[in-house]
Structure 1
């Protein structure tokens, strides 16, 4: 999770630099802040995902195990 936070911080710094150079009303400035918003949305989405249970992790590693069989009814 800290990796995405580092990316967000880097994009914020980039957006500020772009806006300083091209002006706060420029298309480049708007695009730079859009990139920041997209990363923030992804970080929020990652926080909302519930962690896998130990059974789910086990089944990911051992899909052929009896405990992991899925029956269609």
Structure 2
């Protein structure tokens, strides 16, 4: 599951990505083959952290299980 991390909140991508020109047709981030197609990976500080990405709009997206 993908979530958007804010300072004090965790948001659903549907709340943010619907208005993004890079989102897919359903208003979700472009997630393909285990990678975010509309952003880049962010280095983990610890191995326990979930995979994190920064989208082109500047939001931090995490993949949590």
Indicate whether the TM-score tops 0.5: no
TM-score of the aligned structures, taking structure 1 as reference length: 0.22
Larger helix proportion of the pair: 1
Which one scores higher on RCO, CA 8 angstroms, separation ≥ 6? 2
Larger strand proportion of the pair: 2
TM-score of the aligned structures, taking structure 2 as reference length: 0.24
**Larger CA Rg, structure 1 vs 2:** 1
